[in-house]
Amino acid sequence: MTSNGCLAANEWICAEYVRTRSQELVDATVQHVGITVASVLIGLLIALPLAVAARRWRRLSGPVLGLTTILYTIPSLAMFALLVPLIGVSVAVVVTGLVLYSLTVLVRNILAGLEGVPEDVREAARGMGYGPLRLLLAVELPLSLPALMAGVRIATVSTVAMTTVGGIINFGGLGNLLFAGLDSVFKAQVLTASVLCVVLAVLADVGLLGLQRLLTPWTRARPGKAA
């Protein structure tokens, strides 16, 4: 069967679709990546001070963790429905929703990392004259990086998946193609968009894992010495 035939037959795997719609696929992928990166970065900027505050003032820990957990339980369609009247139909609706979802993972992981810093290390830093801010930036956050980066990896992969839901308001990157393909029963478009989402998630996870190892060389396992 020719490549044109696979389009006419509406097959799942069709190279002609990828060739003729390459720009559309690139545009959707770029939008998908942009929404994901913006959502995770904004989520990280919000989660970091929340986790630091929850670590410093214990009374805040329960409310902060409880609120972020409640936000995560809201279905994505309901979340967008709540945000549209406030923000309007725009990419900001999708980004805002994804930021709120990312807080659950990011706040918990950052808080766990901060709580995992040995107290004797903190005391030694204080004894060297470190104030609260310098202690946080030079000691606590660097030692919290493994847990922080693990949270970023989980949040990024989940955000790649949830970005597709933005397709319901035409701001979902590859989700736009996925929803359009489902509506028109266009098999090649549905499969291609789905595969690209999986590829983006895998590449993001592998890339962030490499960054984590680069930033935390002390966590690498050392080969055992021969007896």
CB atoms within 10 A of CB 22: 10
Distance separating alpha carbons of residues 188 and 18, to the nearest angstrom? 9
DSSP 8-state class, residue 116 = T
Distances (CA, A) of 98 to 32, 46, 80, 91, 220: 12, 13, 10, 11, 32
Distance separating alpha carbons of residues 33 and 135, to the nearest angstrom? 34
Domains, the chain, in order of start with CATH, read 17-216 (1.10.3720.10)
List all residues 6 or more positions away from 78 whose beta carbon is below 8 Å from its beta carbon. none
N-to-C CA span, the chain: 63
Task: Give, for all 227 residues of the chain, the pLDDT tens digit.
Answer: 444 578 777 788 888 888 888 899 999 999 999 999 999 999 999 999 999 999 988 888 899 999 999 999 999 888 988 898 888 888 999 999 999 999 999 999 999 999 998 888 888 988 888 888 888 888 898 999 999 999 999 999 999 999 999 988 888 899 999 988 888 888 889 999 999 999 999 999 999 999 988 888 877 655 554 43
Distance separating alpha carbons of residues 36 and 200, to the nearest angstrom? 10
Whole-prediction pTM: 0.87
Please name the residue that has the structure tokens 């966590």. 219
Go through 195-204 and write b for each residue having 16 or more CB atoms within 10 A of its CB, e for each that does not.
ebbeebbeeb
